[in-house]
Every structure is written in structure tokens, then in C-alpha cells.
Structure 1
Amino acid sequence: MKRVVITGAGTVNALGLDVPSTLAAMAEGKCGIGDLNFRDVDRLAIKIGGQIHAWDAEGQFNRQQMALYDRFTQFTLVAAQQAIGQSGLEFAGELALRSGVILGTSGGGLTTQDDNYRMVYEEGKNRVHPFVVPKLMNNAACSHVSMEYNIKGPCYTVATACASSNHAMGQAFNMIRCGMSTAMITGGSESMLCFGGVKAWEGLRVMSKDACRPFSLNRNGMVQGEGAAVFVFEEMEHAQKRGAEILAEVIGFAMTSDASDIVMPSKQGAARAISGAITDARLNKDEIGYINAHGTGTAANDKTECAAVADALGAHADNIMISSTKSMHGHLIGGTGAVELLACIMALKDGIIAPTINYEEPDPECALDVVPNEARDAKVDVALSNAFAFGGLNAVLALRKAP
């Protein structure tokens, strides 16, 4: 079995348009959630989100590209450029054939769908752009990364709601570990912050109108975000031979299904995923120092997740720091696990634990160390990243400090 390391990272999200600015914002406990700004937002009950207001698509892509790139694809390509640039890899010859792209998204080109539904049903137009389908399809971002960088190995998109990017990164990890690939571009992206996207989530009645407060007793729902994070996963020996900087090592992965309810989370399913990742990584429970929680800020998720952590880790759960960065950047749905992996890398590489901001009142059912409101300096050798999705689909990654 090959060892797998991360040699590049890139991101675009409400906290920053690259990794350094994002990590700085996380370390400062900044909030990227604010007023939404798009057509017909006044018709929504929910008017806040982790929207990327500084996005300049026209300044980064030409007219022909704009016809093909939905907002979620744009985010992905910029994040991928950062990650691949940092890694120093050039995909040619044998490396191109033995590298791939696996990305997660839930809605894909939802902004494109929303715009074209308006044209046809509201404005009465009978024609749409000939590239609507290739623009909105969920695999568009994955395909464009593959074409842009000459990556000719396994390339596909994973769609498992809020666990999409964790599932994608787990699959990328396994492909390198088993020897199928030398390097994989992986992560996830999402852009659901349009009228139809937010209106659909409103119907679930799980959205907050004022703030995301994970684990706080007075939490009142999740807040949507948008963006992408992309990583270069690479076989460790290959990375070391070329002298690449290693950000962290990926050491374990597990995925489970609750097989119980389409929206309500299960403690048992989540706990099995956490335990499975620990077993896969061949860890002792007391080696884990930090968990980046799924931590959506809903009443059901947060208490269920805390119960699952306690169930999986036993007495050691009281010694672990666990935080939710969704309080800062919002819930990126299919892209959320990818952005949150940055917090794990920061904990391992820089010794900084991102806080759970907006925390106001302790909840007896969330009685863990949730790193409230302020970042913390701490030495961490092993971290877990949780993702628990609608449909009862769970995916947990385990990472170790760079060797």
C-alpha cells in the first residue's frame, strides 16, 4: 500500500480567494457570512449566506470560457490552478496517464439552471444557449480541470449531498494508495446561492435568518455558502523524490450509510464512519487531537454528531478539540468538506485550531471542547474531518502531520 500526501492546495470561498487569506481569516475567527446579493433576493425569507462578493469572473475568463463555465466551475478552475501551481507538478507523459481528477458537488451548475428556467418559464423564450447542458452538468468542473492540465487518468464527479467532497477525496486517496494512480486532483465546489437554490433550502425549514451557531444552545439553523477547495494528492515517494513540500499526509478514510432516514442524522452511522477512519488509519483513539466537525448549526445535526464522537472515541472524546468552520464560511454543501480540510491542514502544519465562532450558550448535549469563538494554539499530530449528508451518507478522512 502506497502512502499518500498533500502537495498542493487552493481555494475560493467567502473568507478568502486563496489559501493564505482563508487560513488567516480562520485563525482570526472572521465571519464571511453576510447579506446575499442576487436577483429577487427580496422575495426570500433567508437573506444571508457565505457569498463570494469580490468574484470577478470577467477578469479571469474570456467570453468563450464564460459560455462554458458555470460559477461552480469557475471556482474550481481557480482553486485547481492554485493547488497545481503550489505542487509544482506538470502532467505530461506517464504522469498524465497515471493521474486523475475526482471532485465533489451536489448541485453542479445550479446557477445556470436557475437562469435558464427563468428565460423559458418566466420570460417565455423558446431558445437557450447550445452549451447549457455542458455548462450545468455536474461533471463539468472535473472535465475542464482534466482538459486544462492534460490529466488523462480516472476523472469523475461524486454527488452525495453534503458529503460529496469528502467522498471524492476518499476515493482519490484510495486510488493512489492501491497503486492505480500517482497523483489525483481532488476536492469539491458548489454554487447554490441563487434564487432557486436558496428558495429550495428554505422549504426544509433548517435555515437561520441571522447566524450559524454550531453547538451553541441557541443555534437556529444552517447558513449556506459557496466556493471551492482543490488539493493535489500524491504518492509520497513520488513527492519526496522531486523535493515537493508536503502539507499533510492522508492516512485513513471510511464511509457508511445510515440506511434509516433521508434527512435525519443517525448517531450510529456517523460513529461507524469515525471509527472506520480510525481503524483504516491504524490509529489509537488517543492519537487524535482535532476533529473538524460537520457542525451545521442545526439542532439535530450538532447533538447527533457530538453523541457520535463520544460513542466512537469513548473517554478520549473529552480530550479532543472539535470545531465547525461553517460558522465562518457557511455550509458549502457538496464543497464543504474540501474547504474544511484546510482547517485540518492548518491544525497539523501550523498548530492553529480554527474556532467555532458565534458560540453563545453551552448545550448539555454538545458538551465537548468546541474551541468557542477564538482560535487556539495547540500541537496536533492527527486530525479527522467529518462529513454527514442528507440521505444518511457519511464520510470521514484522517490526516497526519507531514512526515
Structure 2
Amino acid sequence: MPSSTSSPRRVVITGLGATTPVGGTAPTTWEAISVGRSGVRPLTQDWVAEHELPVTFAGQIHTSPAETLAKVEVRRNDPSGQFALVAAREAWADAGSPEVEPERLGVAIGSGIGGVWTLLDQWEVLRTRGPRRVFPLTVPMLMPNGPAAAVSLDLSARAGAHCPVSACASGAEGMGLALQMIRNGRADVMVAGGTEAAIHPLPIAAFAAMTALSGRNDEPERASRPYDVDRDGFVIGEGAGLMVLEAEEHALARGATIYGELAGVGMSSDAYHITAGEPEGAGAARAMEEAISDAGLGLRDIAHINAHATSTPVGDLAETRAIHRAFGEHTQDIAVTATKSMTGHLLGAAGALEAVLTALTLHHRQIPPTINLDNQDPEIDLDVVTGQARALSADADLAAVNNSFGFGGVNVALALRTYR
């Protein structure tokens, strides 16, 4: 364990896993995102008409977990846990299944809502069939830390099984917690990120009642349109994004392939409103500034931002103000993208997936485009990558920021950099 006087341990990214609306793995997700392919499509389930839902589309998972999980694993895990297991196993294999003492291996997987499908399905069982028919594993399946627990059991991870619950910043906060755990010596390796499975009639109806969702039922693949003057709300999505994070010395000792470095985290809270972010972006700006400082970087080192950019009229504008507040004149030199335009908003998994995509952006030195941006809002004066992917410098060291903001006024920013 490093002494309290030593320099902070560098934390590197050695494995990536994802299951998303555009792909069943991290590579297939990256391939789709790189070419601007939307994963948003109509909902065809009977419950859409049964409940007369006002929004009839979503970013549904591309590949069923049943294709890779055993039947008993599907039965005993809420869909949010199933997604986490799929992504964790991919990330672990991608990292080379590192040999690590169980007491030095931890898990930090956030979820904003938890097992909503299990909770409401089993409530219906209780209501219609009685208490004897309620599934015995209902509680561990519905609890938000169920996915983290399932992954820790799967990998025999004993350094901790944590679950930050901070709305749409949950997955990013999980990665920030993992960074801190490795730095302070609690673990050498962490599996970290977020998962969410909330494409259910109740969340859809509730978000629609808030007028938070886009209502473009006639053209769902064009509904998520960050920064566009005609944006009218976010598109709900589902899935998981996870990373294997390691202390640099541990990764080098085993000859691991390194995608990049998770270099810093910044967190703040607005204390402004339960759902709306502070309109001038003060808290969001502070999170970005703290992430960059924590990484030992300067503002001018940042070449790219994967923005939170949900496609809500107010939220996109507040984040734009936050970016200007944090970076000042350097804002014009930063290339911004909004990958929710393709995946929809994965709620508690959003920041984690977007951190995975940011790591791949730096690794491949290519920024994915923002799609559906036909007429950029003049108040959003950012250099947004549109049309097609944009190449980054092939030689220079690069750094990027990934933003995640959530209900309750939560702000999390992660700073990533290339590794040499």
C-alpha cells in the first residue's frame, strides 16, 4: 500500500465492456457510434398501448443478455444486473482476466433507479396472485446495489462492492470512486461503471408527465437532437458501461494492454432545484475544473469534451454556459460531441458508457459525431463535431473531459488522458 506521502498512484484503463442500444459489446458500440448510427427505435411491447403511453420509443438494448447469460442468471437478476454482468465479463476478458488477490479487487457500479422491473413485476404478482407467489430473490434483485453485488460475486471481488446512487451521474461517480479507491490503496484493480434498465411504463409515464421526454413518435431515430433549435427532450435508453481500472504498476507488472488513463475526478452539487441544474452552470463548471486539477492538467490540455447533452432545451444551454465558465477563451479550441444523440439517455449508466466512449475516442484518436444536429442553437456556441467523425492529433498527448449531471443537482466530471 502506498504511503500517505507518496505521489498519487496513476490509474490506467485496461478493459472495456458495454451493452447498449447500438451494440452488444464495447467494440460494436464504438463502431456504430463512430459512424453516427442511431439505436433509438419504436417500442413494440403490448404495454405501450395498454397504458396509452404518450411516448412510444426508446433506446432499447441491442442484444438480449439471454444470448450470453445462463438461464439461471437471467432468472436471478433484474435486467439491470443482467446488463452489468454482460459488460463486466466483457471488460474482465478484455483486460486479460488479471490475476489479483480477491482482497485487492473491488467493484463500484452505480445505478440511478435500480431494479424497477423486478419491483413492479413482483408487486403485480403480490396484488394478483398473493404473497406465496412472490419470488424469494425479489429484494436482492430490486435493490440498486444488486448489480454491484452480482459482479463482485462473479469475480470474487472482496475489496468492496459499492453502488453510488446519484441519478444520471451514478455511473460516472462509480468510476470516480474506483479511482479514489485505487489511489488510496484500498484496491489494486476495480471494475467500475454503471447500469440501468428503466424502459418500463412507469418511468416513461413519469418522465413524460414532467415534459422531459421528446415526443417525436413519428421519427424516433431523429428524436435525440442535442444542441438543435428543435430539441424537445431526452430519449430514455438502457444498458451498461464498465471499465477495468488498475494501478499503473499492477498493470505494467503483468504486461497489460492500456487504453489510457483515468486521471481525475471532480464532483459538486448545485443545491438549486430537485430536477433542474443551476442555469449558469456554476456547479458543473466547478466539477470540470476540479477534475482537470485532480488530473494534474491545465485547462488548455483539454482537447475534447463528451458532453452530458441530453437534448433538453434548458439542460444543453446550462452545460454550454458551464463549459464557457470553466474554459473561457479556450472553449473555442475544444471539440465537443454528444453521443446521447445515438444511444439515448441511459440514466445511471450514461456517464459510464460515455466514459468508455471517451476512452476509445482518445485511444483511436477519433471523435464520434453528434447526429440530428440540423440547425445548431445560436446560444450554444460550441465547436460541435457533426456529420462525420473528426480525427485528433496522431502524435500529441491528449486529454478529455466527460460530463455527467443528475437530478438532485449532482455534477460529476471525469478527466481522461492518453497513456505513454
The normalised TM-score by structure 2 is 0.92
In structure 2, distance between residues paired with 1:63 and 1:72: 16
2:211 maps to 1:205: yes
Q: Match of 1:275?
A: 289
Q: Is the 8 A contact 2:108 2:190 kept in 1?
A: yes
Q: Is the 8 A contact 2:19 2:62 kept in 1?
A: no
Amino acid at match of 1:69: N
Q: Match of 1:179?
A: 185
Gaps of 5+ in 2: 1-7, 217-222
2:241 maps to 1:229: yes
In structure 1, distance between residues paired with 2:306 and 2:72: 39
2:83 maps to 1:75: yes
Q: Match of 1:396?
A: 413
In structure 2, distance between residues paired with 1:219 and 1:374: 20
2:374 maps to 1:360: yes
Measure how far apart 1:258 and its partner are.
Answer: 0.3
2:27 maps to 1:20: yes
- Out of 291, 305, 311, the residue aligned to residue 325 of structure 2 is 311
Q: Match of 1:383?
A: 400
Amino acid at match of 1:177: R
2:364 maps to 1:350: yes
The one-character-per-residue Cα deviations of 1:68-118 (angstroms, maximum 9, x if unpaired) are 1111111110100010011123455xx211110001101111111221233
How many percent identity over aligned positions?
A: 38
Amino acid at match of 1:51: Q
2:285 maps to 1:265: no
Amino acid at match of 2:35: E
In structure 1, distance between residues paired with 2:180 and 2:387: 35
RMSD (CA atoms): 1.4
Matches within 5 A, 1:3-402: 3-42=10-49, 43-57=52-66, 59-91=67-99, 95-121=101-127, 123=128, 125-126=130-131, 127-210=133-216, 211-266=223-278, 267-379=281-393, 381-402=398-419
Q: Is the 8 A contact 2:19 2:63 kept in 1?
A: no
The one-character-per-residue Cα deviations of 1:290-334 (angstroms, maximum 9, x if unpaired) are 000000000111000000000000000011011110010010000
Amino acid at match of 1:21: T
Amino acid at match of 2:263: I
CA pair 53-8 structure 1, distance change in 2 beyond 3 A: closer
Amino acid at match of 1:358: N
Amino acid at match of 1:157: C
In structure 2, distance between residues paired with 1:388 and 1:397: 12
Amino acid at match of 2:413: V
In structure 2, distance between residues paired with 1:175 and 1:120: 41
SS of the residue corresponding to residue 207 of structure 2 reads: helix
Q: Match of 2:219?
A: none
Q: Is the 8 A contact 1:217 1:362 kept in 2?
A: yes
Q: Is the 8 A contact 2:23 2:63 kept in 1?
A: no
In structure 2, distance between residues paired with 1:399 and 1:61: 31
CA pair 113-37 structure 1, distance change in 2 beyond 3 A: farther
In structure 1, distance between residues paired with 2:124 and 2:44: 18
Amino acid at match of 1:180: R
SS of the residue corresponding to residue 229 of structure 2 reads: coil
Amino acid at match of 2:320: C
Q: Is the 8 A contact 1:67 1:131 kept in 2?
A: no
Q: Is the 8 A contact 1:166 1:338 kept in 2?
A: yes
CA pair 373-114 structure 1, distance change in 2 beyond 3 A: farther
The one-character-per-residue Cα deviations of 1:199-250 (angstroms, maximum 9, x if unpaired) are 1211211100220110111111000000001110000011011110001101
SS of the residue corresponding to residue 264 of structure 2 reads: strand
In structure 1, distance between residues paired with 2:25 and 2:71: 24
In structure 2, distance between residues paired with 1:358 and 1:99: 41
Measure how far apart 1:124 and its partner are.
Answer: 5.3
Q: Is the 8 A contact 1:290 1:347 kept in 2?
A: no
Amino acid at match of 1:313: F
Q: Is the 8 A contact 2:229 2:377 kept in 1?
A: yes
- Tell me the matched-pair count: 399
Gaps of 5+ in 1: none
SS of the residue corresponding to residue 379 of structure 2 reads: helix
SS of the residue corresponding to residue 14 of structure 2 reads: strand
Q: Is the 8 A contact 2:172 2:193 kept in 1?
A: yes
Measure how far apart 1:346 and its partner are.
Answer: 2.1
In structure 2, distance between residues paired with 1:335 and 1:345: 16
CA pair 86-61 structure 1, distance change in 2 beyond 3 A: closer
CA pair 61-105 structure 1, distance change in 2 beyond 3 A: same
Amino acid at match of 1:231: M
Measure how far apart 1:129 and its partner are.
Answer: 1.0
In structure 2, distance between residues paired with 1:204 and 1:279: 36
In structure 2, distance between residues paired with 1:18 and 1:84: 12
In structure 2, distance between residues paired with 1:358 and 1:373: 9
Measure how far apart 1:67 and its partner are.
Answer: 2.8
The one-character-per-residue Cα deviations of 1:146-188 (angstroms, maximum 9, x if unpaired) are 1111111111111000000111100100111122210101001
